[in-house]
Structure formats: structure tokens, C-alpha cells
Structure 1
Amino acid sequence: MKVVKFGGSSVASAEQYKKVAEIILADKERKAVIVSAPGKRFDGDQKTTDLLIELAESINNGKTDQAVMAKVLDRYNEIISELHLDSSLIQTIKGRLEELISLYKEDEERLLDALKSSGEDNNAKVMTAYLLSLGHQASYISPKEAGVIVTDEPGNAQILPEAYERIAELRNREGILVIPGFFGYSYQGNIVTFPRGGSDITGSIIAAGLNAVEYENFTDVDSVYCVSPKMVKNPRELKEITYREMRELAYSGFSVFHDEALQPVFQKGIPVRVKNTNRPEAEGTRIVLKRELKGQTVIGIASDNDFCSLNITKYLMNRELGFGRRLLTILEDEGISYEHTPSGIDNMSIILRSHQLVNGKEERVLQRIKEELDVDDINIERKLAMIMVVGEGMKEAVGVAAKAAQALAESRSNIKMINQGSSEVSMMFGVDEESVTRAVNCLYNAYFPSTEKAIH
């Protein structure tokens, strides 16, 4: 059995639906199908999920925006009409939206989760109807029926361990099973969404629960690239990559996967294949536990912006017992998570996502550090970008860091931070945001010279 997930661009229109159906029916092992909400049909179009968020915000402000509601219904109606499906489907969708609004209109967080999840939920119903219209056995399976039991924190659902036993029971079902992505149900009976990009998480959870032979993730690119095509022209495609490499790259800005999405299949050792809905014949990229390194030390380069560095100096810091613990306790008290903590004997830097220092948190954190830790100096450096150089082969190679330093020097990038984990799967460099594109291009040219053959 294979689990196959289709992203928003793959189910954005009736034309895309037809491609999806052909892909599903081309392989009898594709039994469990996970769908996202309809995505953008063209540049400048709105994703259905964004429309649903807009709808929820209008209700929270005291008045349902009927124009936005109409746009949501028009997206589904267009697909239903062009696929010649029963027109009563749109009334079912409208009725469900009105029911959710009625149920949750007094609770902002629950309303947002309920309406966001309806994008995937309604799309799964339409996909089921389409497969049935083609004469194939198919069933819509809600996450509750599937056994996707999650924690009860709105917008941040986490799968519960016992869910996998319930999901495994789906193996006894006949026909194609169509399951909406992005959300589950808590024991309290609430609809709870995974973080944004959560349909990938659903697909991974279902694949793990069913012990699938492969989890296929269809999107709008032929494969995973070794660097973002938005930053480097015509980058090299990757035919195979490990879970650990993909995790590092996803954390650092790769948009192919949400960085939590691979955990369930990683734990089960289930291979993942990324493929293109518009070119299903392309081989795609396979994500596996282990791969042959074949002399390639670095497999990918990723970057992300919006970091800042909290820089702290105190003479004899290294001799002060509990300094680091007390510093991190201050961040914990404010609900701030940190990314990295490079340090010296008298100084320490805390790398944070900038968006966390809002609503007075920055002022409180700085004041508490000054007063409670009696530091000599403290300052914040803003507009930092983090660049991750990733590859399982790095731990067995000499000169990888030297090559990176030379490339960054050629890009005229001032290195603000260097960090390498004990696993030696990645190296991280902090640079100014304004130089990140130059830096990534120089690193790409250093590790992927144009004369080198494609990675297999």
C-alpha cells in the first residue's frame, strides 16, 4: 500500500483534479489519498485557506464577510461544475461552513481552526465524488473516522501515540480512501489543525499508521533541488536524500516540506518520494534513512531570514555556575524559544527568530538579563540570515568548512556566526540579510561546480 498526498496547487482546479485522478488510478497500490485545500490557480490568485482565514477574521470582528464566503464557495463550485458532479455538493459545503460558524462563532481560536480545516475537508469530499463519478470505489474518511487523534491546542496539533493503532485499521477498508489533510480531532471533540503546511504532516502520519511501502508527496516541482531555484538559476536536482539531510534543509527554509512532516515516517523508516503532479513520469526525489554518499560531501544549501542575535558579555562568565541556565530560564518565562547559542569564555549569543521579541518582550528580557545576571554589556543584532550547508558526507571529509569560508569571503559576506552540530550533518553561518543571495550563490558554485555530474 502507498499513501499519496497532493498539495494545494495539485488540486487547485478541475483540470488539476483530472491529472490527480489519472495518477491515483495508474497505480493500484495508491490506496490512501491525502488532499490539501485548493491552492493558487495562477499568479495573483488566492489560496482557499487564506480566504477561510479572512472569513474567520471577519466573523471575529462581528460580521460575516459574505463576499469572502462567496469566493470560497465559488472555488468549489467551479471545480464541481467543470467536473460535471452533482450540484448538491455545493449546498453540502455551504451547509457545513454555516454549521461551523454557528458552533464556534463565540470562540476565536476554535473558529479559526474549524474554518481553516474546512478547505481540506470539503476538497476531500469533492475528490471522493469525482473518483466515484469515474466508476471507481472510493470513500471519504474524516480524520475522526480515520483515528487521527491529536492534542487540543488550537493551531498546533500533535499526534497522540495511540492514534497509529486506529489508523492501522484502515488497511481493512476496500477501495480508495480519501482523507483530508491538515487537521485531526482531540479527545474533547474539537477540530485542531496542525501548523501551516500540515497536510504533509497528515500524509506522513497516515503512511506511518498504515505501514505504507512508500509515501508519495505530489507537488508542483519535479524534485527537491540542492538549493532554492528562487536564489540560484537552474540548480541541480537531487535524486536521493536522507531524512536527516531533509530535516536540516526544511528547518532552514526549504519549502518542500514542513519541518515536522517527516518525523512519523522517519520513525518507521518509510521512504518518501517527492513528485510533480504535472509531470508524474519524472523520477522525483527519494527520501530515505541511508544513502550511498558517492564522494558528495554537501548535498544541499538552504537559508532563512528574520533572525536576530542577543549578544551578552560578562567578565569571567565561564566561571559563574548556572549562568546559562538562568539566562535560558528568562527566555522560558517569556515563552521564547532559541535556535542556537554560540559562546566564548566571556560572551554568549542567543540566536532567536525576530518575531518572538514583540509585545514588550524585548524590553522585559533585556531588563531582566541586566538586573538578574548583572552583565557587562548586552545588545541585539538584527536582520540576520542563517545559511545551512548540509550533507551526510561532511563528517568524513576534510576542508568542507574551509571551502565555505572561502566562498563567503568571495561573496563579500561578513560572517556573524558559525555553528556546527556534533552530528556533523550541517554547518550554519550567520550573515547580514542583504548579502544572503550572494552568499548562497557563491556557496553553490563552490560545492556544485558546473562540470560536476548530477547527483544520483
Structure 2
Amino acid sequence: MKVIKFGGSSLASGEQVQKAINIIVADPARRIVVVSAPGKRHKGDVKVTDLLEQLAKTVQNSGDTSALEDEILGRYQAISEYFSMSGSDVLSKLREHLQNLEHQSYPSSEHLFAAFMAQGENMNARLIARVMRHLGYRARFVDPKELGMVVSGSPRSAEIREDSYERIGKFQLEPGEIIIVPGFFAYDEDGNYATFARGGSDITGSILARGFDVDLYENFTDVSAIYAVGPDVVPHPRAINTLTYREMRELSYAGFSVFNDEAIIPVIRAGIRVNVKNTNDPDAPGTMIAPTKDVKHHHLITGIAANDGFTALYLHRYLLNKEVGLTLRILQILYKYNVSYEHMPSGIDDLTIIFAKDQLNASQMSAMTDDIKAEIKPDRIEWFDDFAIIMVVGEGLYTRNDLIARVMDKLAEQDIAPTMINQGASRISTMIGVDSDRALDAVRAIYTLSCEKKEAQSEGAAR
């Protein structure tokens, strides 16, 4: 049995929904389908989820919602009409459902927004189940509540509770039926809507794959593979046939957009493979993400990613390394302002703290600077806003002792001076800090090494 998930671009129109249905019914093992909200149909279009966010703001401000309702439901009506279902009552039920949400009371504004943001997937799953029945397939909409999916955490950054997996595993599918499950949301223990963080529908698919203990989790999107670098950086980059879980996590963290770095944790824990495929080219093999033992790499470098969403705080003070408890005092200041850090490379007199930009605002940065000056008394303290991280990733990195030196040579050829170099003990990734305006140049320079095959290197030991 397989879990199959479709992204927003794969379900943006009636034509795209038909492609998705063709893929579902082509394989009898595809019994559990996770759907996203309709995405953009063309450049300049608006995602349904963005429209729902506008609707939530309008409801919160007691504004007129009729125009937004019509625009949102028009997207579902267009899909319905593509399948000659214009006379169906499904759209009137969706409108009634949306209006009921508008008149409910919520524990907080965050709960209100979670409830509305969940409806893109919720309504799409209901509609697609109805479309499939209209076409003669045995399909059923299943709400996350029926599956026993209960979450904890905040309403818009929920985490699945561990006891949910046992309940999911006990859910009984009828012989030959296909269940359509909305992605992105579940419910807290009080029955309130709660949405997952970034990549929410991917997270739902991953949760269901683990809960049902399936053979494969197929994730259909609008690309035919995961590539060694982004196609917007290098024309026609090398496709990655296989990735290990930890390679995918490292690359996602640094900016690969196919998955975020948290989405596949449930399947990692269960050892379930993930196949990323293209809705518009379903026969292409795509990229398989699997445990390390199941992956044989053919290239020294698997992928390179760049992310300029960071800022860095640099501290200099003589004999900084000799002071016991200094790092603890800095961390206590970060805790005071509810800020987490990404990395903290240091030297004997220097320490750099790297933050995700979305963790900070100007007032926090100013207050933290004042507190660190008062507590640590650095000789120099400075923020670097033009900071990007290049992640060079590959299980093959540790088979060549000269590879990092060659990466540095490539950067030197382009006159790029790294501001930070960090490699973990696993040696499958090297993190390089560079100025933001040189990040893409750095990726292009290193990419030439990623095309070299391990077999061509006498020192390389193919795994």
C-alpha cells in the first residue's frame, strides 16, 4: 500500500486534478491520497490559501466577506465544471461550511486563522472525493479527526502527538476504496483546527505513511526530480536519482524547496522510502529518498543549496575562550527574547552567532545587543545582515580527503572569501558562509565538482 500526496500546483485546475486522478487509479496500491489546496494556475494567479488568509483577516475585522467567498469558491466551481458537475450540491455545501466558520467563536485569533487556513485542503479533499465518485471510482473523504490525528503545540505550528500513529494504524479501509485526506491540518485535544508549519501537506503525508506503515510515500509535485542545484541557478542541472534521509534534511534546511527539513521526520523514523515525482510527467522515475544503507552514490557531491535568510552577530574579546560559562550567559539572553540560534562557530577570541532572519526584528536585535554589551563586555560587536549559507552535501564527501580543499579552490577562482566554514562530525555536509551577493556565484562554482563521479576517483570507495 502507498500514500500519495499532491501539491497545490498539481491540483490548481480541473485539468490538473484529472491528471492526479489518472495517476491515483493507475496503481491499485495507491489507496491513501493526501491533497493540498489549489495552487497557482498561472503566473500572477493567487493561491487559495492566500485568499483564505485574506478572508480570516476580514472576518477578524468584521468586514464584508462576500467578494472573497465568491473568489475562493469560484476556484472550486471551475474544477467542478471541468468534470460537468455544475448541477451538484457540493458547492452549496462548501459555501455553507465556509459561512459557518465565519460565525463561530474561537479561543484566540491564532485559532481563527488556523481554522480558515485549513479550509483550502479541507474543501479540496471533499470536492476531489466527490469528483472521483462522479467518475465511477470508489473514493471517500476522510477527515483527520476520523483518523485519530491529534496535535499539540500552537494553533499554527502544530506537532502530531505520538499516540496518533497507533490510532491511524487501526483505521480500516474498505476493500478497494480510496480515501482522500486533506493535508496541512489536524485537531487539538479540544477539537479546534490546528495547522502544521511550513510544508504542512508534506507533513500530513509523512504522518500517514508512518501510521499506515506503507511500502512507499509518493510525493507528486511540479518537478521531475530533485536536482543537484536549483534550475534557476544552473540551466539543466543534474538530477539526483537517490538521496539519503540526512542528505535531504541538510539540503532542505539550506533552501531546497521540494521538502522542508521537518516534513519527512515521521518516515525517517519508520524507514519508509519517499519518491518525489512530477504530476505532469508521472512516468519519470523522479528522486528516491531512502535510508543510507539503501543508497549507492555515484557522485562525490550530491547537492548544493544556498540560503540568504540569515543574519550573524559577531563578538570579539581577547581570551574569550578562557571564560567559563560565557556561552551560557549568551544563551540566557537569547532565551530572554525567545530567540533560537542556528549555528555558533567560535575561535579563541571570537564568536559568531547565526540566526534565521525570521527569528528577529529590529527591536529584538537592538535590545539583545545592549544586553550582550552589558553582560559580556565585548571589545567588538557587529551585526552582518548580508550573510548567506552555502550547504555542500553528500554521503560521498568523506571518501575524498581533498574534496573540501577543492571546494575552496573553486571559490578562490571566483574571488569569493568564505566568512565561515563548518563541518559536522558526520562529514556528509560542509557549511560555508559567504556574502549574500556572492551566494549564487559560489553555488555555480562548486557545482562543477558535483558533476564528477566517484568511480572516476581512485581514492573513492563506491558504497
Matched, 1:422 2:403: no
The residue number in structure 1 matching 2:459 is none
Q: Is the 8 A contact 1:297 1:394 kept in 2?
A: yes
In the alignment, which residue of structure 2 is the partner of 1:309?
A: 312
Shift of 1:60: 2.3
**RMSD of the alignment, in Å?**
1.9
Establish whether residue 136 from structure 1 lines up as the match of residue 122 from structure 2. no
What displacement does 1:373 show?
A: 1.7
What per-residue deviation string (whole Å, max 9, x for no partner) do you get for residues 146-190 of structure 1?
Answer: 111101411101010000011112244441011000001110111
- Tell me whether 1:160 sits opposite 2:161 in the alignment: yes
More displaced stretch, 166-175 vs 197-206: 166-175
Number of aligned residues: 455
1:378 corresponds to which residue? 381
**Contact 2:243 / 2:295 at 8 angstroms: preserved in 1?**
no
Distance 1:337 1:173, change over 3 A: farther
**Which whole-Å CA distance do the structure 2 matches of 1:227 and 1:88 have between them?**
46
Alignment map for 1:310-389 (pairs within 5 Å): 310-358=313-361, 360-389=363-392
For the residues of structure 2 that align with 1:172 and 1:70, how far apart are their CA atoms?
35
Equivalent residue number for residue 244 of structure 2: 242
Q: What residue in structure 2 maps to residue 123 of structure 1?
A: 124
Q: Decide whether the 8 Å contact of 2:315 with 2:352 is kept in 1.
A: yes
Instruction: Tell me how far apart the structure 2 counterparts of residues 61 and 334 of structure 1 sit (CA, whole Å).
Output: 30
Q: State how far apart, in whole Å, the 2-side matches of 1:397 and 1:104 are.
A: 61
The answer to whether 1:272 aligns with 2:270 is: no
What is aligned with 2:93? 92
Give distance in 2, aligned partners of 1:253 and 1:396. 25
Rounded to whole Å, the distance in 1 between the matches of 2:425 and 2:172 is 40
Of 282-291 and 100-109, deviating more is: 100-109
* Distance in 2 of aligned mates of 1:395 and 1:124: 45
Give the match's secondary structure for 1:178.
Answer: strand
**Aligned partner letter, 1:255:** S
Structure 2 CA distance for partners of 1:148 and 1:345, relative to 1, 3 Å: same
**Which runs of 5 or more residues in structure 1 are unaligned?**
none
Counterpart of 1:392? 395
Q: Which residue of 1 aligns with 2:187?
A: 185
Q: Partners in 2 of 1:145 and 1:295 — Cα distance?
A: 44
**Residue 354 of structure 1: CA displacement?**
2.1
* Structure 2, gaps ≥5 residues long: 457-461
1:291-337 CA distances to partner (integer Å, 9 max, x unpaired)? 44445221000111121110011221111110011111111211111
Matched, 1:300 2:316: no
In structure 2, the partner of 1:262 is 264
Question: Which residue number in structure 2 is paired with residue 108 of structure 1?
Answer: 109
SS of structure 2 residue aligned to 1:150: strand
8 A Cα contact 1:171 1:210, kept in partner: no
Deviation at 1:404, TM superposition (A): 1.1
Does the CA contact (< 8 Å) of 2:301 and 2:449 recur in 1? no
Tell me if structure 1 keeps the 8 A contact 2:252–2:261: yes
Structure 1 pair 54–323 and aligned structure 2 pair: CA distance change class (3 A)? same
Contact 2:311 2:384 in 1 (8 A): yes
Contact 1:198 1:258 in 2 (8 A): no
TM-score, normalised by the number of residues in structure 1: 0.96
**The 10-residue stretch of structure 1 (272-281 or 67-76) with the greater mean CA deviation from structure 2:** 67-76
In structure 2, give the amino acid aligned to 1:142: D
**Residues 106 and 292 (structure 1), Cα distance of their counterparts in 2 relative to 1, 3 Å cut:** closer
Asked whether the equivalents of residues 297 and 395 of structure 2 are also in contact (C-alpha less than 8 Å), the reply is no
**Shift in Å, 1:94:** 0.8
Q: Is this contact kept in 1: 2:125–2:141, CA < 8 A?
A: yes
Of residues 284, 287, 309 in structure 2, which corresponds to 1:285?
Answer: 287
**2:253 is matched with which residue: 240, 247, 251?**
251
Q: SS at the partner of 1:151?
A: strand
- Give the counterpart letter for 2:59 in structure 1: I
Tell me the equivalent position of 2:451: 448
Q: Which residue of 2 aligns with 1:13?
A: 13
Q: 2:406 aligns with which of 383, 403, 406?
A: 403
Distance in 1, Cα, partners of 2:328 & 2:7: 42
SS at match of 2:112: helix
Q: Structure 2 length as normaliser, TM-score?
A: 0.95
Q: 1:411 to 1:59 in 2, by over 3 A?
A: farther
Q: Distance in 2 between matches of 1:422 and 1:5?
A: 34
Compared with structure 1, are the counterparts of its residues 64 and 421 closer, same or farther at alpha carbon in structure 2 (3 Å cutoff)? farther
Partner SS for 2:171: helix
Give, in whole Å, the separation in 1 of the partners of 2:378 and 2:201: 45
Match of 2:150 in 1: 149
After TM superposition, give the deviation of residue 375 of structure 1 in Å: 1.9
Aligned equivalents of 2:246, 2:389: Cα separation in 1: 18
Q: For residues 293 and 26 of structure 1, what CA distance do their matches in structure 2 show?
A: 29
User: Is the 1:201–1:258 Cα contact (8 Å) retained in structure 2?
Assistant: no
Q: Which amino acid aligns with 1:335?
A: N
Determine what percentage of the aligned residue pairs are the same residue. Answer: 43
SS at match of 1:157: strand
Distance (Å, rounded) in 1 between the aligned partners of 2:297 and 2:194 = 44
Task: Select the residue among 216, 220, 223 that pairs with 2:222.
Answer: 220
Which stretch has the larger CA shift, 155-164 or 372-381? 372-381
